A and B are shown apart, each in its own frame.
Chain A
Amino acid sequence: MLKRNPFRTALAVGTAAALAAAGGACSSESEDDTVNLTVGLFGDFGFGPLYEEYMEANPGIVIEERIAEFADHHTNLTTHLATGSGAADIEAVEVGYISQYTAEPDRFHNLLDYGAGDLEDRWLDWKWQQGLATDGGAQIGLGTDVGGMAMCYRRDLFEAAGLPTERDEVSALWAESWEDYVEVGHDYVEATGGEYFFESSGNMFRAMVEQAEQGVYDRDDNIVVDSNPAVKESWDLTVEAVEAGMSNQLEAWTPEWNASFTEGTFATIICPAWMTTYIETNAPDAAGLWDIATVPGGAGNMGGSHLVLPAQGEHPEEAYEFIEWLTAPEQQLKVFEETGNFPSTPELYEDEAFTGMTAEYFNEAPVGEIFTDSAESVEPQYQGPLQGDVLSTIGAGLGRIEEGAQSPDEAWQQVLSDLESF
């Protein structure tokens, strides 16, 4: 019974070898004169060739990129900020998260100390403001891209509903206001016998609120959802559209939502620049069916990022110099050409490369003009620390109406009571 057992031997050898290997792989790094800059991003920003270019021009700098998935990146960053260690020298922050970080500017190097103040005019004013600390005394991030907004629509569905199909005429239908857009929606639903006019109500509500002078916060960081009439008006108009059956009630980024682009289950969708890429790659068969008009009210932004320097980073000067270069118009243009991420520097909007840009998939729509107009017309609006969560809470209220779980009044009351716990 007590004979040698090959399984045990293998296990013992395995343990020893694996532990030894783990030890061997953990040798410490060597130090030298070069400055290593790490860049933490969510997804590929198309910076690759620019790193090469910069390192060639600055021999003492070595740049290294780390990429994680969107939500993981921000959780990871927050963990490292909270523990004061482990963050990259340069980190990307998406606009949905930026106001949580501007509320705690001490966690970041103040870019005004490094001369960012002189460059304020480089960016769209609202883009600059998004990175400003709540008290205005610090700038934590330099803007990369923005998501100027347009309205994508299905020509075939518009035609079937007896609506105009040319983009200028379509834009004119709702050029003035979201009320006009909802009016068109009523016509569409009636003409088609109950087909959906848009994908989901949450984005419509967001787009509307962001066009208002004041959003869900006042400048003292109070949530003003219950007292700001602009919010309630946007809500009511959205509810009107939902109750008229205009919403397809699709959750963004789900397979259902994906499929809907090809199937053409709805007629319009709010379309930031990056969304057009998405539609094009997910619904190649629908080429020529989609077109792009302007968004109601003419202005809007969805998405976009900043590059921030966590205070724990040891090379703020080098890092600042690098991101200052990286976000300059010339580089943003190269990124745009590489990835389609839309620049945040108005100087480029004069450029022929932009104004003349068209999208073949969308019937040669002049997207350059549409997106630049829309991004430039955005009025800066103050955004509070929990901006994203407040909007999600209101979005959930609209979702409850869509699912038939609550009446609009109940949903609104619950939104208000939910917000009290913030």
Chain B
Amino acid sequence: MAIATKGRAPNPRKPATAGRLRYRLDLHASPYLYIAPFFVLFAAFGLFPLAFTAWVSLHDWSLLSDEHVFVGAENYANLLTDGYFWNALVNTMSILALATVPQLLAALCLAHLLTFRLRGQTFFRMGMLLPNVASVVAVAVIFSQLFGRDFGLINWVLEALGAGRIDWQAGRASSHVAIAVMVAWKWTGYNTLIYLAAMQAVPREVYEAARLDGAGRLSQLFRVTVPMIRPTIVFTVIVSTIYGLQIFAEPQLFGGAGASGVTGGPSRQFQTLTLYLYEHGFNRGFEFGYASAVAWTMFAVIVVIALLNYLLVKRIRSSS
């Protein structure tokens, strides 16, 4: 009988006969018991909404009407032939790349910094969460002030430096950069804390050894820490990909309270997939069926991209 702990040779120890059954039961059943709460609660409150939207996506289904006509895959066909969907997909990928890569690298470096013995370390560590505490309204106001065309701080600096003003909203690239900055601002600290927690489990001795080999701080980070916390890095990459592809609040705030907040600018230059979903689901006659099809198509896209990223970060070997 194999022991249930990973990576170990079979345990030669046999428990007393009286407890043996219980022992085997414990060994084989308990893992299921431990993951059961998640699946039970998810089945209770998460599964129905998913199944329901999947069903709705096969219908011409407006939220306000009682007539729900079955249309099969028509919503999906319409979706895949709608240029605006592909436009939203490209925008989303571009913002994802611009926001996630620098953000995770910065988080890694910040977490590394925070492992040092610092004066005021509690302050610095808790301070990482300040962007998650700030209210959405304040954030929206401040970032539109920063990226404002006529009176924005960034343009003021650019002009003072002799560069021209940028109409951040109007351009595709410039709007993506602005949104990526908002995203990175909000989530860098969050990821920093996640890395920081993982770094605590790296035994000091490993660093000592690396140092004796003459590794500097930065090379310690990339040669020792990164391989050691690989599972957590995999986690952040996958979760950032998943949430990044569903990015919604930032482009909406960036577009303002008017129609631009939904279409992502007059040319749809920064409309993301979720904004596209929202445009159809909660505007435009509340096309719940079509929006559900968007949601499930997004699911497929996210699976593919998350998988690609997973294969990519899997190449970080645990210590070379």
> Is any CB of A less than 8 Å from a CB of B in the complex?
yes
Contact of B266 among A255, A265, A397 (CB under 8 A): A397
Within 8 A of B (CB), among A272-313: none
Whether A16 is near chain B, meaning CB under 8 Å from some CB there, is no
User: Do A104 and B144 form a contact, CB below 8 Å, given A251-B260, A253-B258?
Assistant: no
Binary contact track A250-276/B, C-beta < 8 Å → 1, others 0 = 011111100110010100000000000
Whether B43 is near chain A, meaning CB under 8 Å from some CB there, is no
- Give Cα A386 to B286, complex, Å: 10
**A396 B145 Cβ-Cβ under 8 A:** no
Could you say which residues of chain B place their CB within 8 Å of the CB of A104?
64-65
Could you say which residues of chain A place their CB within 8 Å of the CB of B265?
399, 403
Could you say which residues of chain A place their CB within 8 Å of the CB of B288?
82
| Shortest CB distance A127–B (Å) | 22
Whether A106 is near chain B, meaning CB under 8 Å from some CB there, is yes
Contact of B144 among A106, A256, A265 (CB under 8 A): A256
Could you say which residues of chain A place their CB within 8 Å of the CB of B259?
392, 395-396
Size bracket of the A interface: 35 or more
**A399 B266 Cβ-Cβ under 8 A:** yes
Within 8 A of A (CB), among B218-266: 255-260, 263, 265-266
**A107 B144 Cβ-Cβ under 8 A:** no
Binary contact track B77-88/A, C-beta < 8 Å → 1, others 0 = 000001000000
| Shortest CB distance B52–A (Å) | 11
| Shortest CB distance B252–A (Å) | 10
**B141 A78 Cβ-Cβ under 8 A:** no
Whether A7 is near chain B, meaning CB under 8 Å from some CB there, is no
**B151 A263 Cβ-Cβ under 8 A:** yes
Binary contact track B151-183/A, C-beta < 8 Å → 1, others 0 = 110000000000000010110000000000000
User: Do A82 and B63 form a contact, CB below 8 Å, given A100-B286, A256-B151, A403-B170?
Assistant: yes
Contact of A81 among B63, B170, B263 (CB under 8 A): B63
Whether A404 is near chain B, meaning CB under 8 Å from some CB there, is yes
- Give Cα A263 to B150, complex, Å: 11
Q: How many inter-chain contacts with C-beta < 8 Å in the A-B complex?
A: 94
Write the chain B residue with the least CB distance to A403: B170
Could you say which residues of chain B place their CB within 8 Å of the CB of A82?
63-64, 286, 288
| Shortest CB distance A347–B (Å) | 34
Whether A222 is near chain B, meaning CB under 8 Å from some CB there, is no
Binary contact track B96-128/A, C-beta < 8 Å → 1, others 0 = 000000000000000000000000000000000
Could you say which residues of chain A place their CB within 8 Å of the CB of B167?
403
User: Do A396 and B266 form a contact, CB below 8 Å, given A78-B63, A255-B145, A259-B151?
Assistant: yes
User: Do A252 and B257 form a contact, CB below 8 Å, given A78-B282, A100-B285, A385-B285?
Assistant: yes
| Shortest CB distance B175–A (Å) | 11
Main secondary structure of the interface of A (DSSP, over half): helix
Count of chain B residues with a beta carbon within 8 Å of a chain A beta carbon: 33
- Give Cα A334 to B133, complex, Å: 40
Write the chain A residue with the least CB distance to B152: A256
Binary contact track A374-402/B, C-beta < 8 Å → 1, others 0 = 00000000000110010010011111101
Within 8 A of B (CB), among A60-110: 70-71, 75, 78-79, 81-82, 100-101, 103-104, 106-107
Could you say which residues of chain B place their CB within 8 Å of the CB of A357?
none
- Give Cα A400 to B171, complex, Å: 11
Whether B66 is near chain A, meaning CB under 8 Å from some CB there, is yes
- Give Cα A103 to B67, complex, Å: 13
Whether A405 is near chain B, meaning CB under 8 Å from some CB there, is yes
Could you say which residues of chain B place their CB within 8 Å of the CB of A421?
82
Could you say which residues of chain A place their CB within 8 Å of the CB of B258?
251-253, 392
Whether B284 is near chain A, meaning CB under 8 Å from some CB there, is yes
Within 8 A of B (CB), among A199-222: none
Contact of A399 among B141, B145, B149, B260 (CB under 8 A): B260
- Give Cα A171 to B167, complex, Å: 34
Whether B267 is near chain A, meaning CB under 8 Å from some CB there, is yes
User: Do A396 and B256 form a contact, CB below 8 Å, given A82-B63, A251-B169?
Assistant: no
Could you say which residues of chain B place their CB within 8 Å of the CB of A398?
266
Write the chain B residue with the least CB distance to A107: B64
- Give Cα A71 to B269, complex, Å: 22
- Give Cα A405 to B171, complex, Å: 9
**A253 B151 Cβ-Cβ under 8 A:** no
**B150 A265 Cβ-Cβ under 8 A:** yes
Write the chain B residue with the least CB distance to A390: B284
- Give Cα A406 to B269, complex, Å: 13
- Besides A82-B63, A82-B64, A255-B148, 7 more A-B contacts (Cβ < 8 Å) are A254-B257, A259-B148, A386-B284, A392-B259, A398-B266, A403-B167, A403-B266
Query: Could you jot down 16 A-B contacts, CB within 8 Å?
Result: A70-B257, A75-B282, A78-B64, A81-B63, A82-B63, A82-B286, A107-B64, A252-B256, A252-B257, A255-B141, A255-B151, A396-B259, A398-B266, A399-B265, A399-B267, A421-B82
